[in-house]
Amino acid sequence: MSQMKISLFIFFTIIGFLGSVESRSRARTYLEAQCHTTLHPDLCVRTLEPYATKNDLPSPQKIAQITLTTCLAKARFTKAYVDMIAKELNKTKNLGESQATESCLREINNGVNQITQSVREIRKMGTDGEEKFAWHESNVQSWVSAALTDTTTCMDGISGDEIGSKTKSMIKARFLNVKELASNSLALFNRFTARHRASRAVKNP
């Protein structure tokens, strides 16, 4: 390869790299602006980064939908983990451990159902008629808030000595992740609905 070809190759490689950096920088700035109202902004940005590029920045509704879908995936993973732990503890015949874990399993089952309903509900918003917007909004807010309560209930319920410290910390870590994702999802959903109302007010003063 001639010296000129090598130089051109390096030049275009650098240009491509700089363009990629610029794209990631613009996307991250946009996501940081969207996430600043959440309680866990770093987690929020990390959750959304795979879905944002310079030329394809997700809308507020899409952002709320992505975070809810991610929360649902984590909740399902947590449900599978707690189910496995509950089955193992049942074999030990330790009543205290079994009861505490079964309680957590009920909470995460409820959480999965509530977040599943929320994901379905948010997909209907904007396509199911403006007159139903507030109804869908209320449903999502109620279900995600209930899921947050369920995660807190489990974490509070295993604070004693019924479950071994290692198992307890693993369950708490998974529930905490679901709780933080649900909290972010609710904040971003509320941001979306507020912007939607503001936009409608401008169009229909």
| pLDDT tens-digit readout, 55-88 | 889 999 999 999 999 999 999 999 999 999 888 8
Secondary structure (DSSP) of 73-140: HHHHHHHHHHHHHHHHHHHHT-HHHHHHHHHHHHHHHHHHHHHHHHHHHHHHTTTS-GGGHHHHHHHH
Q: What pLDDT does residue 96 have?
A: 66
Q: Which domain holds residue 36?
A: 1-57
pLDDT band at 3 (very low <50, low <70, confident <90, very high): low
Q: Quote the pTM value.
A: 0.83
Check whether residue 47 and residue 106 sit in a common domain.
no
pLDDT for residue 24 is more than 90 = no
Check whether residue 47 and residue 66 sit in a common domain.
no
**Mean pLDDT calculated for residue range 26-47:** 94
Check whether residue 14 and residue 42 sit in a common domain.
yes
- Note every long-range contact of 190-195, with CB atoms under 8 Å and residues 24 or more positions apart, other chains counting: 190/141, 191/34, 191/37, 191/60, 191/64, 192/60, 192/61, 192/63, 192/64, 193/133, 193/137, 195/60
Check whether residue 100 and residue 164 sit in a common domain.
yes
| pLDDT tens-digit readout, 141-199 | 999 999 999 999 988 877 655 566 777 888 899 999 999 999 999 999 999 999 988 87
Check whether residue 50 and residue 71 sit in a common domain.
no
| pLDDT tens-digit readout, 82-140 | 999 888 877 766 666 677 788 889 999 999 999 999 999 998 887 877 888 999 999 99
Check whether residue 48 and residue 71 sit in a common domain.
no
Number of domains in the chain: 2
94 torsion bin: left (phi>0), alpha (psi -120 to 50), beta (else): beta
Nearest to 44 by CA among 195, 190, 184: 184
Check whether residue 199 and residue 182 sit in a common domain.
yes
For residue 68, what are its two tokens? Answer: 């809810």
Check whether residue 152 and residue 186 sit in a common domain.
yes
pLDDT for residue 31 is more than 60 = yes
**Mean pLDDT calculated for residue range 13-35:** 67
Check whether residue 48 and residue 100 sit in a common domain.
no
Check whether residue 63 and residue 118 sit in a common domain.
yes
Q: What pLDDT does residue 125 have?
A: 87
Check whether residue 21 and residue 77 sit in a common domain.
no
pLDDT for residue 17 is more than 90 = no
Average pLDDT of the chain is: 83
